[in-house]
Amino acid sequence: METILGIAVGIGLSAACGFRIFVPLLIMNLAVLSGQIQMPAGFAWIGSTYATIAFASATVIEVLAYYIPGVDHILDIIATPAAVIAGTITTASMGMELSPFLKWTLALIAGGGVAGLVQGATVALRAKSSLATAGTGNPLVATLELIGAIIVALLAIILPIVCLILIVLFFFFAVRKMGRFIFGRRQTKNG
């Protein structure tokens, strides 16, 4: 059961990395320091004081940079692969009782995949916001992404199974909406 909870925490934190890369890492660091979660030996650095300073500094810079017009789009280009990497690391760090092959396979597919999908959704939302509002709505999108990162990361640590269920529901509805959009366009073009 501990392994399943660890995987749920890792995937939840990975989803949060799709909103903001460093917010979930900082929350994970603080959870380790407070004794809420345990890190295996290879990932003990996540709970160090140096990591706290690094994650806190990076969080402040990342959050503020998303409020600068134009910089937010440049960050999206950089953040997409970085979110996948952060998602992979967070999931791998929580898969304590797994073989290395299974741990890293799960981390890459589930953790990196979830982080990449969430990041892709936020990039699409920012692009729509930019087109619809000429960029004036992007600070609202940045704020919602920050709130999403905080809530999902906290849920992943406090209620990991609930967080995992919410992530699955989010992806179900996102895929469904995307399917309607794609198939709706095809029917319009064909009809």
- Per-domain boundaries in the chain: 2-190
- Cα separations in angstroms, 128 against 33, 131, 141: 39, 5, 10
Coil/strand/helix, residue 95 = coil
pLDDT per position as a tens digit, 89-122:
999 998 777 888 999 999 999 999 999 999 988 8
- The residue among 127 and 48 whose pLDDT is bigger is 48
Is residue 14 within 8 Å of 164, Cβ to Cβ?
Answer: no
Query: How many other β-carbons are positioned within 10 Å of the β-carbon of residue 105?
Result: 14
- The structure's pTM equals 0.88
Q: Tell me how crowded residue 74 is: count the other CB atoms within 10 A of its CB.
A: 11
- Report the C-alpha dihedral over residues 13, 14, 20, 23, rounded to 10 degrees: 30
Which pLDDT tens digit goes with each residue over 56-73?
999 999 999 999 888 888
| Lowest mean pLDDT, pick from 50-64, 75-89, 100-114, 126-140 | 126-140
CA distance 124 to 152: 19
Distance (Å, whole) CA 19 – CA 116: 10
Triad 119, 123, 124: Cα angle to 5°: 120
